[in-house]
Structure 1
Amino acid sequence: MKVLLIKDVKGLGKAGEVKDVKDGYGNNFLIGKGYAKAATDAVLRQWEAAKRNEAQIKEYEISQNEKLKDELAGVKITIKTKLGANGSPFGSITKDEIAKALKEQKGYEIDKKSLECDNIKALGEHEISIKLTHQIHAKFKIEVVGE
């Protein structure tokens, strides 16, 4: 019996491979547990179509993230903070504040978890890195000023 593995199976193969197995093992274990499907022409065509579709989606996401990276390279946002007695910021600027300011000032909605920076505790200009999908990193600048 020929089966198309849907999931990796230890000792047999990886997802996407077509394997020849005994009927009982194929029907009762692999297909029964959802690790494989019977390798008919229709199933193989459907698998290939799904793989092509995933590749197109990935290519589209990469192009969109590259475009976003280029747009963010020229972005500079300003964050106002209260100053302490010695002229330094009172508290620190968090990732949440940076994400909110980026959305309010420039319209880019970025998840605060994708920002790669520590809390900012000084006035002036700082460079912030954003981890986008598919190992793409974008950078933009923020300026921290006192109120």
Structure 2
Amino acid sequence: MKVLLIKDVKGLGKAGEIKEVKDGYGNNFLIGKGFAKSATTDVLRQFEAAKQRQAEDQRYEVESLNSLKTELEKVRVKIAKQVGANGALFGSITKDEIAAALKEQKNLEVDKKALDLGHVKTTGIYDVNVKFKHGISAKFEIEVVAE
């Protein structure tokens, strides 16, 4: 019996592979537990179509991330924060504040989890790295000013 593996099966193969297995193992375990489907022409055609859709979605996502990257690299965001007598900030600049400032000032949506920044506790200009999926990263500047 030929089966198309939906999930990785230890000792048999990875998802997307077509394997020849015994009928009982294929029907009772692999298909019964949802690890595989019977490798009919319809199932194979649907799997290939889904794989093409997934590749197209990934291509679109990479293109949109690259365009966001080019926009971000031209950006400088100002963040006003209260400053103490010695010139140090009360608290530090957080990823939430940077993401909110990007949305408010430049209308760019960036997930705060993608931002990479050390501790910012004084006024000045700082570089912020953004790490997206698919190995795409960008860098933009924030300017911290006294309120």
Alignment TM-score, normalising by the size of structure 1 = 0.97
Does 2:97 correspond to 1:82?
no
1:96 matched to which residue of 2?
Answer: 96
In structure 2, distance between residues paired with 1:36 and 1:87: 64
For 2:117 and 2:86, locate their aligned partners in 1 and report how far apart those are by CA, in whole Å. Answer: 25
**Which residue in 1 is equivalent to 2:130?**
130
Q: Distance in 1 between matches of 2:40 and 2:29?
A: 18
Letter of the structure 2 residue corresponding to residue 41 of structure 1: T
Task: Report Cα offsets for 1:83-126 as digits up to 9, x if no partner.
Answer: 11112222211111111111110011211111111231121100
Aligned residue in 2 for 1:108: 108
The question of 1:140 aligning with 2:140 is answered yes
Measured in 2, the distance between the counterparts of 1:138 and 1:100 equals 18
State the one-letter code of the partner of 1:76.
Answer: R
SS in structure 2 of the partner of residue 142 of structure 1: strand
AA partner of residue 87 (structure 1): G
TM-score for both structures, normalised by structure 2: 0.97
Cα pair 1:95 1:119 within 8 Å, conserved: no
| 1:62-100 C-alpha deviation (Å, 9 max, x unpaired) | 011000000111000100111111122222111111111
Judge which range, 1-10 or 111-120, deviates more. Answer: 111-120
CA distance in 2, matches of 1:99, 1:124: 18
Mind listing any 5+ residue stretches in structure 2 that lack a counterpart? none
Runs of 4+ residues deviating >6 angstroms: none
CA distance in structure 2 between the aligned counterparts of 1:142 and 1:116, rounded to whole angstroms: 12
Structure 1 segments unaligned to the other structure (5+ residues) = none
AA of the residue aligned to 1:85: A
Q: Is the 8 A contact 2:87 2:123 kept in 1?
A: no
What is the root-mean-square deviation of aligned Cα atoms in Å? Answer: 0.8
Matched to 2:132, the amino acid is L
Helix, strand or coil: the match of 2:9?
coil
Corresponding residue number in structure 2 for 1:118: 118
Aligned residues: 147
1:65, 1:9 → 2: CA distance?
33
Return the alpha-carbon distance in structure 2 between the equivalents of residues 3 and 99 of structure 1: 47
Paired-residue identity, %: 62
Secondary structure of the residue aligned to 1:139 is strand
- AA aligned to 1:70 is T
